[in-house]
Structure 1
Amino acid sequence: MTGVPAAAGGPARANGAAAAPAPATGTAGVAAHGQSAAGPRGAAPAAAVPDGPEGGPPAPAAHGGVSGDAVSGGGPESAKPARGGKIAAAAVNQASVWNIANLLTMLRLVLVPAFVALMLADGGYDPAWRSLAWAAFAIAMITDLFDGHLARTYNLVTDFGKIADPIADKAIMGAALICLSALGDLPWWVTAVILGRELGVTLLRFLVIRYGVIPASRGGKLKTLTQGVAVGMYVLALTGWLATLRFWVMAAAVVLTVVTGLDYVRQAIVLRRQGIAERKAALEETEG
C-alpha cells in the first residue's frame, strides 16, 4: 500500500513538464520554460501573449511584461513592469493633447482676433459686419459648452485644456465687452464689473487651492449663459423693443455677476477656515 502514492506522485512530477510548476519553482518554472501559459486547453505559449496599452494580458518577462514572480507576488522584477506601464500611460496622455475637446478650445482662441476684426470693420457700426461678428461670438460660446462636456465624458482632460479653456472663455468675453464699450454701445462700468469679477474669482481660486477647490455653482452657470446672451444681443445691431430687451438681459447678467462673485468669496472664506481647522487638528493629533 505504501507504493501506490509513490507511483502516483513520482512519475507525475518527473514527466509532467506541461503541468503547472510547483510554487517552489518560482520564476524558473514560468520564465525559463514557459509551460504555465499553455494550459490543458492548448492556449498559446507565453511568448505569444500580446502586450500594449489596449489592456491585454501581460507579456512574459522577456518582453518587458509581468514575470512569474510578479504574478505570484514576489521577486524584484515586479517593479520594472509597473514603471514601464506608467511611462506608456504618460506617452498616451501626451499624445491625447490633440483631441476634439482641445481642438475646440484652440478654435475659440483663433476666433478671438477674428471677432475683433469683424466687430471693428468699417468703423464698427455696419450691420453686416456686426452680424458676422455675432456669428463668430456665437460659435465661440457654443464650443465652450461642448469642449468641457466632451473632455469629461470621454476622458480627454489634459493639462493644456485645463489652462487654455478658461483663457479662451475670458478672452472672447473680454474682447466683446471691450469692443462694445469702445464703440459706445455699453457703459465702461459694466465691462469693468464683469471683467473684474472674472479675474477676481480666478485669483481667489488660486489663493485657496491649497485648502480645496471651489466648485462651479448653478448660479455661476446661469451667469455665464446670461452674459453670453446679453453680449450677443449687444453685438447685433438691434433696434426697437429688441434693443430694450437686451438692456434688461444685460442688467440681469450684471446682477448675477455680482451675486455669484460674492458667493465665491463666501465659499473661499469657509473653505480656508475649514482647511486651517483640519490642519490644526491633524497637527495636535500628531503631537499628542
Structure 2
Amino acid sequence: MNIPNRITLSRIMLIPIFIIILSVPFNWGEWQIGEDVLPITHFVAAIVFIIASATDWIDGHYARKYQLVTNLGKFLDPLADKLLVSAALILLVEMGIAPAWVVILIISRELAVTGLRLVAAGEGIVLAASNLGKVKTASQLVAIALLLLHNYPFSYLGFPIDMIMLYIALFFTVLSGVDYFIKNWHVMEESK
C-alpha cells in the first residue's frame, strides 16, 4: 500500500476518535466566546476534524505529485471523506447545532453518488471525483469546522458564518450530485 493510501486510512482511523470525543460526556470545561460558550470537547473534536480533513489534501497532493494515483485511492479517498463528513454532521444534529433536513440532504447525496460508484465498479469503471465535488467537500469541511467551533472567531461579530457556510455546502452538495449523475449516467445505461 502506497503512502497516499496510508494517509487516507489514517483519516478513516481518526473518525472513531472524533466520535468518542463528541459522544462520551467528558467534562473538560468550556470557554466563553462572545455571547456563546464553547465546550472544550467541541474544540478538541474540531482540531481532530481539521487534522483529518487536512489529510484529504495531503494524500491527493502527494499521489498526484509522485504519480501514485491508484484505483484503491480513487475508491478510499471519497469513502473516507463521506465517512468523516457523515459522522460529523450526524453528531452536529444530535447536539442541536445543525438542522436535520440539511444533513439528510447532504448524506442522501453522498449515498446516491456512492451507489453510482458501486454500479460503475461492477462494470469495471472507476469514477474519480470532479472539481465540483472537490469544492463540495471543501465547503462541507469548512462548515463543519466552524459549527464545531461554535462560529469562532466570527461569533465576536455576531455574524452566522457557520450557518451560511453550511448552506453554501448544501448548495454545492446538491449541484455536484446532479452534475455527477448527468456526467456519469452512461454507467447506469450500460449496466442494464
Identify the TM-score tier after normalising by the shorter chain: 0.7 to 0.9
Are residue 106 (structure 1) and residue 25 (structure 2) matched? no
Are residue 267 (structure 1) and residue 179 (structure 2) matched? no
* Inter-partner Cα distance in structure 2 for 1:123 and 1:154: 42
- CA offsets per residue over residues 166-212 of structure 1, 9 Å max, x none? 33221111111011001111111111111110110111123245385
* Inter-partner Cα distance in structure 1 for 2:57 and 2:44: 20
Are residue 229 (structure 1) and residue 132 (structure 2) matched? no
Please tell me the root mean square deviation across aligned C-alpha atoms, in Å: 2.6
Note the residue ranges of structure 1 that are not aligned, 5 or more in a row. Answer: 1-96, 277-288
* Inter-partner Cα distance in structure 1 for 2:126 and 2:83: 23
- CA offsets per residue over residues 230-285 of structure 1, 9 Å max, x none? 01100113335466111111111111111111111211225656x69xxxxxxxxx
* Inter-partner Cα distance in structure 2 for 1:270 and 1:160: 22
* Inter-partner Cα distance in structure 1 for 2:172 and 2:16: 28
Structure 1 segment 116-265 matched on structure 2, within 5 A:
116-122=19-25, 126=30, 127-158=39-70, 160-208=72-120, 210=123, 214-238=127-151, 239-241=155-157, 244-265=160-181
- CA offsets per residue over residues 26-46 of structure 1, 9 Å max, x none? xxxxxxxxxxxxxxxxxxxxx
Q: Secondary structure at the match of 1:156?
A: coil
**Residue 227 of structure 1 contacts residue 250 of structure 1 at CA under 8 Å; is this kept in 2?**
yes
- Which gives a bigger RCO, structure 1 or 2 (Cα 8 Å, sep 6+)? 2
> Are the structure 2 counterparts of residues 258 and 160 from structure 1 closer, same or farther at C-alpha, using a change threshold of 3 Å?
closer
- Partner in structure 2 of residue 76 of structure 1: none
- CA offsets per residue over residues 128-182 of structure 1, 9 Å max, x none? 1111111100011111111122123223345553443333221111111011001
**Residue 11 of structure 2 contacts residue 80 of structure 2 at CA under 8 Å; is this kept in 1?**
yes
Identical pairs, percent: 37
TM-score normalised by L of structure 1? 0.55
> What's the offset of the Cα at 1:217?
2.7
Q: Secondary structure at the match of 1:122?
A: coil
> Are the structure 2 counterparts of residues 112 and 270 from structure 1 closer, same or farther at C-alpha, using a change threshold of 3 Å?
same
**Aligned pairs, number:** 178
- Does 110-119 or 224-233 show the bigger shift? 110-119
Structure with the bigger percentage of strand: 2
Residue type of the partner of 1:236?
L
**Residue 150 of structure 2 contacts residue 162 of structure 2 at CA under 8 Å; is this kept in 1?**
no
Note the residue ranges of structure 2 that are not aligned, 5 or more in a row. Answer: 31-38
